[in-house]
Amino acid sequence: MGLKPPAAVAYIAPFAVFIALRWLPFPPEWLAPVRFVLVAATLAALSRRAMPGRPGFAAGSILLGAAVLAIWIGPDLLWGQRYREFVLFHNGVTGVARSSLPAYLKLNSGFIAVRVLESAILIPIIEELFWRGWLMRWAIRSDFESVPVGQYTALSFWAVALLFAAEHGPYWEVGLMAGVAYNWWAVRTRNLADCMLAHAVTNALLAGYVLVFDQWQYWL
């Protein structure tokens, strides 16, 4: 019999693969499907034991996901794109709120389909496994599987919220509010599936907003 991988691998590996693949020197129309397949394969191979059951609060999760979308785009709707040019959001640390994707990809239906599926399905799963399935519990106890999903301590709650914010670069302040919302929902529901559903609704609505209103700066 082979060695059993550590329990944390099921929660960390898909997210780690996703982050690592972002730096491959491939054109984005090639990178997107390659990344999607490899991350999905990692999930299938390593993370089945970590996948939660069904959401227990589906309606609430959908509403929360929509509310986070409003939080995400709200400042730019209220104050315009110049808001993102303020030094707190436009600097050498956070980067800039500008899509790095070539303009021709707006007409590439294959790329758009993969990017929407990645945003609405894959990313919510891998991020919730990592942030609230593993890190929020590991910050309480290294034997994280002995910690129930959604158990609260101030350190674990705010450390994850702040790191989640940092992941989102020039959108760090709305990322912080989103992280607080998803963390709160984890504490409230004690169900990772509800967090995945809320996150999926946010990302799916944001993808629709990007495409319908030509707001590609949200797809960095």
In a domain, 73, yes or no: yes
Percent helix, strand, coil in the chain (nearest 5)?
75, 0, 25
In a domain, 82, yes or no: yes
Instruction: Please work out, in degrees rounded to the nearest 5, the angle formed at the alpha carbon of residue 78 by the alpha carbons of 75 and 79.
Output: 80
Closest CA to 144 of 15, 13, 10: 10
In a domain, 40, yes or no: no
In a domain, 192, yes or no: yes
| Per-residue pLDDT tens digits for 149-170 | 999 999 999 999 999 999 999 9
Domain encompassing residue 125: 54-218
In a domain, 10, yes or no: no
Mean pLDDT (the chain) is 95
Domains of the chain: total = 1
CA–CA separation, 105 and 25 (whole Å): 17
Supply the pLDDT for residue 2. 53
Residues 156/187, Cβ–Cβ less than 8 Å: no
| Per-residue pLDDT tens digits for 123-149 | 999 999 999 999 999 999 999 999 999
In a domain, 147, yes or no: yes
